């Protein structure tokens, strides 16, 4: 399929058009899943690499020990208790009221989570998978409190990061660290294996300041029922239920979601999104301004990225 040329991209090719004039459909993935050339140097066993390439995600059980987890949980509790410590705009509450839903840019608000974001167990894996230097495109804690933690409807992160943040290609990976028990009952991450290999074109258009609603309840940039049914019919949903201190590593385009938490057991996960520097975000692939700094980090200024951004930002 030829790249799509929107009237507003100034001739910049869009290889993954969505929320445009195209009807809902699958487009083929045009990018590798694992970019590394030499798999012998992988920081995880080959069997996990093969599973990641096939499924679009892997779970690394007990990556962090109890002492490390205790520190992360203390820090998360602190972040909730002293809102003054973190910029107010980074706290997203549930649609229904005051309950905290997410806190963004935790790698910038918290020295503890800044250290976690830079931990070699995460960064070395991201660098390997993306075969590039990486930067944090986005970090957050999704805190699905007991009784009232609401769902995250099915979506591909890449579809949003491409359309709204200007991420050119599928060369980013999310690593989610479980801060609490992720049980089958309290709204764990659900993923559709193999979904990362297809790009789900979504209908509709991006509303103004979409992030003010999408981070509470996403209704635009989500797959239609027909395409979701097709993905699930090919390979059924898998639930990432796991203990605290595990890492769920998933490709930027893997379809995922999670249901509401009506149990007394909170489900809190920290997410770090590593983007390849060569895939630095540029102008959005929609007619809206870039999203704010705490959702879409400004990429590092390096020679390559600067040239890349200049070209992109025409």
Q: Which residues bind Fe ion (CB under 5 A)?
A: 157
- Of 75 and 157, nearer to Fe ion (C-beta) is 157
In angstroms, the CA 300 to CA 41 distance is 26
- Of 214 and 253, nearer to ligand 6CS (C-beta) is 214
Residues with Cβ within 8 Å of 264's Cβ and at least 6 positions away in sequence, in order, are 146, 147
Within positions 104 to 143, which residues make up the interface with ligand 6CS, using CB under 6 A? 138, 140
176 binds ligand 6CS (CB under 6 A): no
Spell out the alpha helix ranges (H) of the chain: 46-55, 66-81, 106-109, 111-117, 120-130, 157-163, 211-214, 225-234, 303-312
- Of 31 and 157, nearer to Fe ion (C-beta) is 157
Residues with Cβ within 8 Å of 102's Cβ and at least 6 positions away in sequence, in order, are 91, 92, 140, 141, 142, 143, 215
CB of 136 to ligand 6CS, least distance (A): 13
Within positions 275 to 304, which residues make up the interface with ligand 6CS, using CB under 6 A? 295
Q: Which two tokens stand for residue 54?
A: 């096939």
In angstroms, the CA 199 to CA 159 distance is 8
CB of 296 to ligand 6CS, least distance (A): 8
CA neighbor of 286 nearest in space, from 9, 13, 26: 9
Helix (H, G, I), strand (E, B) or coil at 257: strand
- Of 9 and 138, nearer to ligand 6CS (C-beta) is 138
Q: Which of 20, 182, 206, 214 binds ligand 6CS (CB under 6 A)?
A: 214
Query: In terms of DSSP bridges, do strands 91-93 and 57-60 run parallel, antiparallel, or are they unpaired?
Result: unpaired
CA neighbor of 244 nearest in space, from 44, 65, 114: 65
Binding partner of 258, given ligand 6CS, Fe ion, none, CB within 5-8 angstroms per partner class: none
Q: Which of 52, 57, 152, 250 binds ligand 6CS (CB under 6 A)?
A: 152
CB of 195 to Fe ion, least distance (A): 13
> How many angstroms from the chain centroid is the CA of residue 145?
20
CB of 223 to ligand 6CS, least distance (A): 12
Q: Binding string to ligand 6CS for residues 13 to 32, with x set by CB under 6 A, is what?
A: --------------------
Binding partner of 101, given ligand 6CS, Fe ion, none, CB within 5-8 angstroms per partner class: none
157 binds ligand 6CS (CB under 6 A): yes
Binding partner of 140, given ligand 6CS, Fe ion, none, CB within 5-8 angstroms per partner class: ligand 6CS
Binding partner of 109, given ligand 6CS, Fe ion, none, CB within 5-8 angstroms per partner class: none
CB of 152 to ligand 6CS, least distance (A): 5
In angstroms, the CA 249 to CA 58 distance is 5
Residues with Cβ within 8 Å of 193's Cβ and at least 6 positions away in sequence, in order, are 54, 55, 56, 57, 235, 236, 238
Residue numbers at the binding site for ligand 6CS (CB under 6 A): 138, 140, 152, 155, 157, 160, 214, 218, 295
């Amino acid at each position: 399929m030829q790249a799509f040329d929107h009237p507003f991209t100034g001739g910049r090719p869009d290889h993954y058009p969505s929320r445009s004039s195209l009807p809902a459909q699958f487009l083929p993935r045009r990018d590798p899943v694992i970019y590394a050339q030499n798999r012998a140097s992988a920081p995880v066993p080959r069997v996990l690499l093969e599973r990641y390439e096939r499924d679009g995600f892997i779970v690394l059980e007990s990556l962090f020990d109890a002492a490390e987890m205790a520190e992360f949980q203390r820090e998360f509790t602190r972040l909730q208790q002293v809102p003054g410590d973190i910029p107010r705009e980074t706290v997203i509450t549930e649609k229904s009221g005051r309950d905290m839903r997410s806190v963004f840019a935790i790698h910038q608000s918290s020295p503890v989570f800044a250290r976690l974001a830079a931990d070699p167990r995460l960064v070395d894996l991201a660098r390997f998978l993306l075969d590039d230097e990486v930067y944090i495109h986005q970090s957050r804690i999704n805190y699905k409190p007991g009784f009232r933690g609401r769902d995250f409807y099915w979506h591909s992160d890449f579809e949003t990061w491409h359309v709204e943040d200007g991420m050119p290609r599928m060369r980013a990976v999310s690593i989610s660290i479980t801060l609490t028990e992720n049980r089958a009952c309290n709204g764990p991450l659900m993923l559709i294996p193999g979904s990362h290999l297809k790009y789900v074109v979504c209908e509709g258009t991006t509303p103004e300041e979409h992030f003010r609603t999408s981070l509470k309840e996403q209704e635009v940039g989500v797959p239609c029922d027909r395409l979701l049914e097709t993905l699930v019919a090919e390979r059924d949903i898998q639930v990432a239920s796991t203990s605290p201190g595990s890492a769920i590593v998933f490709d930027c385009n893997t379809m995922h979601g999670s249901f509401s938490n009506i149990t007394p057991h909170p489900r809190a996960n920290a997410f770090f999104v590593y983007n390849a520097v060569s895939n630095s975000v540029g102008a959005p692939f929609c007619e809206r301004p870039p999203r704010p700094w705490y959702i879409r980090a400004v990429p590092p200024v390096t020679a390559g990225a600067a040239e890349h951004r200049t070209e992109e930002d025409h």
